[in-house]
A and B are shown apart, each in its own frame.
Chain A
Amino acid sequence: MVEHADIRVVHRGGSKINFRAPVISDDSRLLLCASGECVKVYSTSTEECVHHLRAHTDVVTGVVLRPSNHLQVYSCSMDGTIRLWDFTDAILIKTYVIGQPIYSIYASAQHNGVLFITIPMLNDKTSEMFHLVAVHLQQSTEQLVEARELSVVISHVSSNPAAIAFGRAGEYLASTKGLQLEVFFLKKQKSNRFSLKEENKKGRKNTFSCVTCHPTDDCIATGHEDGQIRLWRNFSHKKEYTYSTLHWHHTTVGSLCFTPEGTNLLSGGVESVLVQWRYNQDTQRDFLPRLGAAITHVTVSPDGTLFTTTHSDNKITIIRSGAKVSAVIQGLVKGESIETDLLIDPRSKALVMNGKPGHLQFYSLQRDKLMYNLDIVQQEYIYQSDLQQFEVVKAAFNSSGNWLATVEREQKDAELELNLKLWAFDDQTQSFVLNTTISAPHENRITALCFSPATDSQTTTVLVSSSKDGHFKAWQLAAHTEDEGPCWSCDFVGAYHGLVPSCCCFSADGSLLAVSFQEVVTVWSSASWELLTTLSQPPGDIRDLCFGQLSCSKYLLGTSTSNLLLCWNLLTCSLEWSTSMDISLLLADPLSENMAAFCSQSGYTHLFVFKPSEPRPIFSQKAVCSGKVMRAVFAPREEMLESCEESSQWLNRCQLYFLSQHMDLMTFTTKAEEDKLMDSSKQLVIDDTVAMTPFHLLLGKRRKEREEPQPAVSSPSAQRSSSSIRELLQTPAHVLPSTSYLCSMFVRSLLISVTDNREENNEAEGEMDSEKEEEDSEEEMDTRDTRPEQVSAESVSPALTKAQLRELRRLKKQDHSWLQGLLDP
């Protein structure tokens, strides 16, 4: 698959953290959640990712605390293994091989050495039938254990982890599937089944969506698709069971959870409201509204002080009891589609795309952390199943990052509502502030949006938007009135034979604007808005347009629907070359001449990196990923790589990120870079073992004071001298002064390290002592002096300063007899 050994396609961040319910450690300090192929350990107070537990080779499907040791955790994965971790130090302790993909994992305190997992009934990935099996874990000292002792507990269960729950003291298991609730009593080894009708009287669906059991009472709470919560009691009898209903949610109950004492029941759903029901007081309930997005999981920490809600927008909210949000762990939000292209904010170098409905997200690629969400639509988000929301469909930054243009769209039946908003970066608040709102900038959808590159500070930036209504418009910043600041207004409206413009692109110096109208490319002068020339290569409409950069700025590249990659020379206004390939995406690297083309062929995407002026591609990789790549971006690196190999040189300045068909954010890395990453990740552990309480501030200060004098006792002079020796030894020989000159200094540095000895030997010589102190200070000065001398010269005999001469003289006078004793023992 990989053609060049040193360049690899890797997943880069932004994996889901809302796939499974998170687990909170016993002391409520750490939160563990399954995230892609690893388990992430977050601190609940700082929101920082503390560890990655990496070993699984497929998606992690469940995390559960080990009931017998609260510092260990089991994780299961689709790769068919269960792994036991010490999560405080991120150490893998044991691996149990099951051999079948595992969908969920459960543990109970009453069943020591037994884990319950859901696996397919047939050993087949496509199978839709699952059963819950108990795994007996052998005691062994080996790292890798084959777990073959499997016994089926319940067959035909749902693969959803929320559909199975342990009852009071692990006595029974409640499992729901479709319209059936099955309660399995582990001691008696028998089960009771309760079925509901498909629809109730009002025609609502009764299907179970989740289940949980009361920790101290014989009560099972089930959530349903119609928004009802049923509390089942007396279910040990087949006939005399009862249930009561709680109703607040208007659609599916997403998750249910009892607090550890069983006094409260928490529920959440798509309304993004956390509802807290009092157990046995059905009328009383508390709400925590507007949590941002639909709630998929609700969990409570073992000590009951923390609640967490996991949301559909890849977010975990940590709520302290008292209904206050204390922390938000936010991953990269990935909707069904990224309507805005992937963008790079020139200021923060963050990846920008639309995330939550009506928001733009700024995602730091270096730290793999969501920086912030910018509210574009500024409207209350209301969840309703068939409600059309405003969506951010286009965004563009100007080259300095001072301006951000966004387009939001609401499609309601035939009506289309468009808003073009322009945001100015405010240095004081360090965020974007709305400057201009243009409602209905065009009569139809906007197909492309781009800023002109600012060549110098004087020229005003121009924003060009092209729309399906057959026009493209240029917007310019203009001061309208004295009392208000400058705002944007339309400067020019252009059209070409009533054709629909599809994409637009500015040349690197901003003097030319290329707009493609179906199969014709029109080139306009941005200074006078004159149509300069038209280029076309029928048949086939133009899909992508790109100007060459730097030395290749005379080229204009385009791709057409007839599977052609075209390159025009703008000096001759003629086609320079063209080749036939089905390019889905064409990108120009802003920092070099390179261009990247993703082309799809028989279900796979290939990548070519080339220079417009050279016929041979610099780099090509077959089968980068399956499916079409529609979004990609060149992200400038923070520090340049210094790779000399020809094939990886294109990655020196920029990194190429792309979104695969399954919305995974991928990138290309070189070997050297990966090694560096590994090193840095090991250092990244944040110590937050002691909370910053006032008590800590008091005590911590005291303790530090007590600790500090300790090193001070060991003689500082010794340290100093050793450092000077190190400096002397490390500097290259050819820049050092002559050996005869250095010798005395070298010897002196040795002299100081044995001060104590000397003092013992001749205590009476107070005069000498004072002189020696002088030496000390002089010596310090010398070490400082060495550097400029080293730099300044290859001059063989540097002129000695007066101070040095005096020193030398003094040295001569001194008695060195004791040295003899030291040198030859």
Chain B
Amino acid sequence: MASFKPTKIHVYPKLGEKVTQDTLYWKNYKAPIQIKQFGAVSNVAFSPVAPYNFAVTAFTRIHIYGPFSQEPIKSFTRFKDTAYSGRFRSDGQLLVAGCEDSVVRLFDVGGKTALRMFKGHTKAVHLTDFTSDRYQIVTGSDDYSCRLWDIPNATELNTYREHTDYIRCGVTSKLNRDLFITGSYDHTVKLFDVRTDKSVMTMDHEQPVESLLLYPSEGLLVSAGGRFVKVWDLLKQGQPLVSLRNHHKTVTCLCLSKNGERLLSASLDRHVKVYNTTNYKVVHNFDYPASILSLALAPYDESIVVGMTNSVLSIKHKKSPSESKDSTSQQRRRPSYRMFVKGKNYIPKQDDFLVGKQVKEHLAKHDKQLKKFNVSKALDTALESWTRRRKPEVTVAVIKELNRRGTLKNALAGRDEQELSRILNFLIGNLVDARFTLVLVTPAEMILDIYRSIIGQSPVIDRQLLRLHELLERELDYQRELLEVLGMLDTLFASSLPRNAVECSGISSSNGFFLTY
């Protein structure tokens, strides 16, 4: 006697993005806090010391925010024109910023007015940074020059005029006080050594360079410009390692996650992409409402701060571990551990007679009804609201099974208004789903056959039937359009293939449509 074979629930391929460790990690952030600024947010920089405040450069101001405050805890407003590139020194005490008026200002984080003003550039200064010995500042300007300043004396130490276009970005080495790198709109990235007067290495990015990033080990350099993100190996004389083209607009900002395993790039196309730094594959993607100009990650990835052209600053904080756990623990309460181990640790003695326990086969509710040939009840259980909404494939499988048994009509007939409207609701929701259409067309036709005579008696049913009608009309139009597109694609493919009589015949209709199976 064979046991009842349960209804086969078809497993459909999951639509949407696949859940990986990365998606789980990067999804584990709270809803963003949005703070309106006075203008486009051109730079965001985190203080390297606790409590990890961050400086937001927007229009003529630099605001410093605490990790969880919505209001700035400090503002520097003494800029005559648009400020650029507010960055902290490695001890978090000093902040340097460039300005459209070519003056570089140095602030004490505790104070209000500028400690030093470095004048010498003739055009806007977009790049300012401290060297790793804390006593010097590197600046880069639209006058094609970059300069090295001494902080205590407020004097200019050196000027480098090697770039032939605006200098918009740069980094200083954290390990060597003498090295800094600048990127320019002349498509080159240059590595300067303070001990010499010339650049020691030049890399060609082939696009105006917008952002530079050094790996913590400082062996690899990442440059962003145009649609490209390029990685260079500095230890091999600036050999290009990899070129990434995942954005479709200019990449504006680069950032590394806490342990250097993930690289983030932000772009004017409103996306932030997360790359795996071992194989440089995109592992995650964030969407933002406007073009992104600046991006920063708090130490330990505690928060993601993004500044956009619509002058909105978006801050996402990581969920605390207790918060992320709560949601799962509430869902399921398991029997206690004691219940599970009950009797399990008993070791049978030699002359014990083992009585096998009959394994009780578990059947789903609808299968129990199907086993008893209760077709209407089987359909009812499959249409229970939880199944219907969460697992439409179960409902569809039961309908398919009933149809196979030839008893679908019996199951659908003899329903009252409420039950019928439930079935219709399900059909309206799922009929145009490509995975279910083939199966669900049959019950839809049957319902029309069975209940044709009662149309007009119930306003609820009539309304639903009208909705179904509209839905089908729309779907038909949609399908027609799709076929048109397919036809167009076919002509494109046909014209792009080489004119080889034999070859053509072989793959004439493999236009991608068939390959999707």
On A, residues with C-beta under 8 Å from B are 288-292, 325, 375, 378-382, 384, 386-387, 410, 415, 438-441, 471, 481, 490, 492-497, 529-531
| 5 A-B pairs with C-beta separation under 8 A | A291-B2, A387-B405, A441-B517, A481-B18, A531-B505
Which residues does chain A contribute within 8 Å of B514, judged by CB atoms?
471, 490, 493
Q: Say whether, besides A380-B370, A531-B502, A493 and B510 are in contact (CB < 8 Å).
A: yes
Is the C-beta of B503 less than 8 angstroms from some C-beta in chain A? yes
* A289 and B509 contacting across the interface, CB-CB below 8 Å: no
1/0 per residue B190-231: CB within 8 Å of A? 000000000000000000000000000000000000000000
Which residues does chain A contribute within 8 Å of B404, judged by CB atoms?
379, 382, 387, 410
Query: What is the distance, in angstroms, from B477's C-beta to the closest C-beta of chain A?
Result: 24
* B506 and A496 contacting across the interface, CB-CB below 8 Å: yes
Which residues does chain A contribute within 8 Å of B3, judged by CB atoms?
290
Bound CA span A242–B8, Å? 49
* A496 and B505 contacting across the interface, CB-CB below 8 Å: yes
Query: What is the distance, in angstroms, from B175's C-beta to the closest C-beta of chain A?
Result: 36
Is the C-beta of B347 less than 8 angstroms from some C-beta in chain A? no
Q: Which of B396-443 contact A (CB under 8 A)?
A: 401, 404-406, 438
Is the C-beta of B507 less than 8 angstroms from some C-beta in chain A? yes
Q: Which residue of B lies closest to A497 (CB)?
A: B505
Knowing that A378-B5, A495-B505 touch, tell me 11 more A-B residue pairs with CB under 8 angstroms.
Answer: A325-B1, A379-B404, A381-B5, A387-B404, A387-B406, A490-B515, A492-B510, A495-B506, A495-B507, A497-B505, A531-B505
Residue among A292, A481, A490 making CB contact with B2, cutoff 8 Å: A292
Bound CA span A415–B441, Å? 12
Q: Say whether, besides A290-B1, A387-B405, A439-B10, A495 and B517 are in contact (CB < 8 Å).
A: no
Is the C-beta of B387 less than 8 angstroms from some C-beta in chain A? no
Is the C-beta of B451 less than 8 angstroms from some C-beta in chain A? no
Number of residues from B at the complex interface, CB < 8 A: 27
* B517 and A490 contacting across the interface, CB-CB below 8 Å: yes
Q: Which of B1, B4, B10, B517 has its CB near the most chain A CB atoms (within 10 A)?
A: B1
Which residues does chain B contribute within 8 Å of A375, judged by CB atoms?
5
* A495 and B508 contacting across the interface, CB-CB below 8 Å: yes
Which residues does chain B contribute within 8 Å of A380, judged by CB atoms?
4-7, 370
Q: Which residue of A lies closest to B516 (CB)?
A: A490
Residue among A386, A387, A494 making CB contact with B507, cutoff 8 Å: A494
* A438 and B517 contacting across the interface, CB-CB below 8 Å: yes
Query: What is the distance, in angstroms, from A463's C-beta to the closest C-beta of chain B?
Result: 14
Query: What is the distance, in angstroms, from B407's C-beta to the closest C-beta of chain A?
Result: 9
* A291 and B1 contacting across the interface, CB-CB below 8 Å: yes
Which residues does chain B contribute within 8 Å of A292, judged by CB atoms?
2
Which residues does chain B contribute within 8 Å of A289, judged by CB atoms?
1
* B1 and A471 contacting across the interface, CB-CB below 8 Å: no
Bound CA span A531–B405, Å? 45
Which residues does chain B contribute within 8 Å of A384, judged by CB atoms?
405-406
Residue among B5, B406, B515 making CB contact with A379, cutoff 8 Å: B5
Query: Secondary structure at chain A's binding surface: helix, strand, loop or mixed?
Result: loop
Which residues does chain A contribute within 8 Å of B1, judged by CB atoms?
288-291, 325
Q: Say whether, besides A380-B5, A382-B405, A439-B10, A493 and B505 are in contact (CB < 8 Å).
A: no
* B509 and A493 contacting across the interface, CB-CB below 8 Å: yes
Q: Which residue of B lies closest to A481 (CB)?
A: B18
Query: What is the distance, in angstroms, from B142's C-beta to the closest C-beta of chain A?
Result: 48
Bound CA span A438–B517, Å? 8
* B18 and A290 contacting across the interface, CB-CB below 8 Å: no
Q: Which residue of A lies closest to B367 (CB)?
A: A380
Query: What is the distance, in angstroms, from B507's C-beta to the closest C-beta of chain A?
Result: 7
Query: What is the distance, in angstroms, from B28's C-beta to the closest C-beta of chain A?
Result: 20
Query: What is the distance, in angstroms, from B438's C-beta to the closest C-beta of chain A?
Result: 8
Q: Which residue of B lies closest to A494 (CB)?
A: B506
Bound CA span A379–B7, Å? 7
* A493 and B8 contacting across the interface, CB-CB below 8 Å: no
Q: Which residue of B lies closest to A390 (CB)?
A: B404
Query: What is the distance, in angstroms, from A155's C-beta to the closest C-beta of chain B?
Result: 43
Q: Which residue of B lies closest to A533 (CB)?
A: B502
Query: What is the distance, in angstroms, from A227's C-beta to the closest C-beta of chain B?
Result: 15
* A471 and B405 contacting across the interface, CB-CB below 8 Å: no
List 6 A-B pairs, minimum CB-CB distance, nearest first.
Answer: A380-B5, A493-B510, A493-B514, A531-B506, A290-B2, A325-B1
Bound CA span A387–B510, Å? 36
Q: Which residue of A lies closest to B500 (CB)?
A: A531
Bound CA span A440–B18, Å? 24
Q: Which of B471-517 contact A (CB under 8 A)?
A: 502-503, 505-510, 514-515, 517
Bound CA span A440–B10, Å? 13
Q: Which residue of B lies closest to A317 (CB)?
A: B1
Query: What is the distance, in angstroms, from B308's C-beta to the closest C-beta of chain A?
Result: 35
Bound CA span A558–B2, Å? 45
1/0 per residue B1-34: CB within 8 Å of A? 1111111101000000010000000000000000
Which residues does chain B contribute within 8 Å of A531, judged by CB atoms?
502-503, 505-506
Which residues does chain B contribute within 8 Å of A494, judged by CB atoms?
506-507, 510
* A379 and B405 contacting across the interface, CB-CB below 8 Å: no
Bound CA span A381–B371, Å? 11
Bound CA span A493–B511, Å? 10
* B4 and A290 contacting across the interface, CB-CB below 8 Å: yes
Which residues does chain B contribute within 8 Å of A325, judged by CB atoms?
1
Which residues does chain A contribute within 8 Å of B508, judged by CB atoms?
495
Which residues does chain A contribute within 8 Å of B10, judged by CB atoms?
439
Which residues does chain B contribute within 8 Å of A530, judged by CB atoms?
503, 506
Q: Which of A380, A384, A490, A493 has its CB near the most chain B CB atoms (within 10 A)?
A: A380
Which residues does chain A contribute within 8 Å of B8, judged by CB atoms?
378-379
Query: What is the distance, in angstroms, from B488's C-beta to the closest C-beta of chain A?
Result: 20
* B509 and A471 contacting across the interface, CB-CB below 8 Å: yes
Bound CA span A438–B401, Å? 18
Bound CA span A291–B6, Å? 16
Q: Say whether, besides A290-B1, A378-B5, A495 and B509 are in contact (CB < 8 Å).
A: yes
Bound CA span A271–B473, Å? 44
Q: Which residue of A lies closest to B441 (CB)?
A: A415
Query: What is the distance, in angstroms, from A686's C-beta to the closest C-beta of chain B?
Result: 26
Which residues does chain A contribute within 8 Å of B509, judged by CB atoms?
471, 493, 495
Bound CA span A325–B3, Å? 12
1/0 per residue B456-484: CB within 8 Å of A? 00000000000000000000000000000
Query: What is the distance, in angstroms, from B422's C-beta to the closest C-beta of chain A?
Result: 26
Query: What is the distance, in angstroms, from A497's C-beta to the closest C-beta of chain B?
Result: 5
Bound CA span A531–B504, Å? 10
Q: Which of B404, B406, B507, B510 has its CB near the most chain A CB atoms (within 10 A)?
A: B404
Bound CA span A289–B4, Å? 10
Which residues does chain A contribute within 8 Å of B401, judged by CB atoms?
379
Which residues does chain B contribute within 8 Å of A490, judged by CB atoms?
514-515, 517
Q: Which residue of B lies closest to A290 (CB)?
A: B2
Query: What is the distance, in angstroms, from B509's C-beta to the closest C-beta of chain A?
Result: 6
Q: Which residue of A lies closest to B373 (CB)?
A: A382
Which residues does chain A contribute within 8 Å of B502, judged by CB atoms?
531
Query: What is the distance, in angstroms, from A133's C-beta to the closest C-beta of chain B?
Result: 41
Query: What is the distance, in angstroms, from A230's C-beta to the closest C-beta of chain B?
Result: 25
Bound CA span A531–B10, Å? 37
Q: Which residue of A lies closest to B508 (CB)?
A: A495
Q: Which residue of A lies closest to B11 (CB)?
A: A437
Q: Which residue of B lies closest to A442 (CB)?
A: B517
Which residues does chain B contribute within 8 Å of A481, judged by CB atoms?
18
Q: Which of A375, A386, A495 has its CB near the most chain B CB atoms (within 10 A)?
A: A495
Bound CA span A761–B370, Å? 91
Q: Which residue of B lies closest to A410 (CB)?
A: B404
Query: What is the distance, in angstroms, from A514's C-beta to the closest C-beta of chain B?
Result: 14
Bound CA span A415–B445, Å? 15
Bound CA span A363–B1, Å? 21
Query: What is the distance, in angstroms, from A486's C-beta to the closest C-beta of chain B?
Result: 16
Query: What is the distance, in angstroms, from A78's C-beta to the closest C-beta of chain B?
Result: 35
Q: Which residue of A lies closest to B403 (CB)?
A: A412
Bound CA span A37–B389, Å? 61
Bound CA span A454–B517, Å? 25
Query: What is the distance, in angstroms, from A290's C-beta to the closest C-beta of chain B?
Result: 5
Query: What is the distance, in angstroms, from B204's C-beta to the closest C-beta of chain A?
Result: 37
Query: What is the distance, in angstroms, from A135's C-beta to the closest C-beta of chain B?
Result: 40
Query: What is the distance, in angstroms, from A487's C-beta to the closest C-beta of chain B?
Result: 11
